[in-house]
Amino acid sequence: MGLATKIFFPALCFGCGFPGDYLCQRCKRSRVGFNFQQECHVCRKAVFSKFIHNECRQYTYLDGVVVGTQFQGVIKQMVHDFKYGGVARLAPVLGDILIVSWRLRSVAGSEGAVVVPIPTTAFRRKWRGYNQAELLAQEVARGLGLHLQLGLTKQHGMQTQVGKSRSARLASQWQGMQLAAGFEWKGRSVILVDDVMTTGATLEAAAKALRMAGAARVYALVCARG
């Protein structure tokens, strides 16, 4: 896509095709079904007035995962175009879904939390032109009035992962997660941001790295669970 096309091509609603926004107000109300009920990310059953069942805590490094909406319809299309279609301008639309979802939970103890995007490798970033999670994290930090922290990086690609056992995959992913020196993670609450949660292995690897650096709480905030 040429520069002129990028600048002048009007945004069309992903739901109804109406020009103006990528998601018009009408479609946002009628086509995005926000998850009002919190689901425990370990057993995927409903959990009330908290994020995770006490008995499920032993299986995860995350204190909770907030999933904005269902991975279907306009959301699925938008996430896909945001990730693979180079449509960086979708960040505010998807970011808004994250902000609304986080506020719906009214998380106790998240004041002063830092917002951290799930990192991508330098190769992928170069290929795509941006890290989609970082753009979303910027929106979330701005919208919630929290500090954005980019100190989590990923060192190795995933190309060697095929054929390895699940446990070997998890171990190497954790080893790939690195925290920059010069930021005090100790006692911090962290909100990890990504577009979609799939197996959860990447989020767990990031959470483990943050916990080892002393983070007190690590939450994840994603648009949908694929």
Stretch of 23-31, 179-187, 192-200, 216-224 contacting Zn ion, by CB under 5 A: 23-31
Strands 152-154 and 177-179: antiparallel
- Residue 176 engages Zn ion in binding (rule: CB under 5 A): no
CB nearer Zn ion, residue 54 or residue 106? 54
Using CA atoms, how far residue 60 sits from 39, 159, 168, 182, in Å, is 14, 25, 17, 27
Return d(Cα 9, Cα 12) in angstroms, integer: 9
Instruction: Supply 43's token pair.
Output: 């057993």
- Residue 15 engages Zn ion in binding (rule: CB under 5 A): yes
> Which residues between 26 and 45 bind Zn ion (CB under 5 A)?
27, 40, 42-43
Least CB distance from residue 125 to Zn ion, whole Å?
A: 31
Nearest Cα neighbor of 212 from 189, 186, 192 is: 186
CB nearer Zn ion, residue 30 or residue 161? 30
Least CB distance from residue 76 to Zn ion, whole Å?
A: 16
CB nearer Zn ion, residue 13 or residue 93? 13
CB nearer Zn ion, residue 87 or residue 209? 87
Q: For 165, list phi and psi in degrees, rounded to 5.
A: -70, 165
Least CB distance from residue 200 to Zn ion, whole Å?
A: 13
- Residue 24 engages Zn ion in binding (rule: CB under 5 A): yes
Least CB distance from residue 36 to Zn ion, whole Å?
A: 18
Amino acid found at 148: L
Q: For 115, list phi and psi in degrees, rounded to 5.
A: -100, 125
Instruction: Supply 167's token pair.
Output: 């446990």
For residue 46, the tally of other CB atoms under 10 A from its CB is 10
Return d(Cα 27, Cα 11) in angstroms, integer: 14
Among 13, 62, 144, 170, binds Zn ion (CB under 5 A): 13
For residues 42 to 81, the per-residue mask of contacts with Zn ion, x marking binding by CB under 5 A and - elsewhere, is: xx---------x--x-------------------------
Helix (H, G, I), strand (E, B) or coil at 61: coil
CB nearer Zn ion, residue 90 or residue 114? 90
CB nearer Zn ion, residue 60 or residue 120? 60
Using CA atoms, how far residue 156 sits from 69, 106, 179, in Å, is 30, 35, 14
* List of residues contacting Zn ion (CB under 5 A): 13, 15-16, 24, 27, 40, 42-43, 53, 56
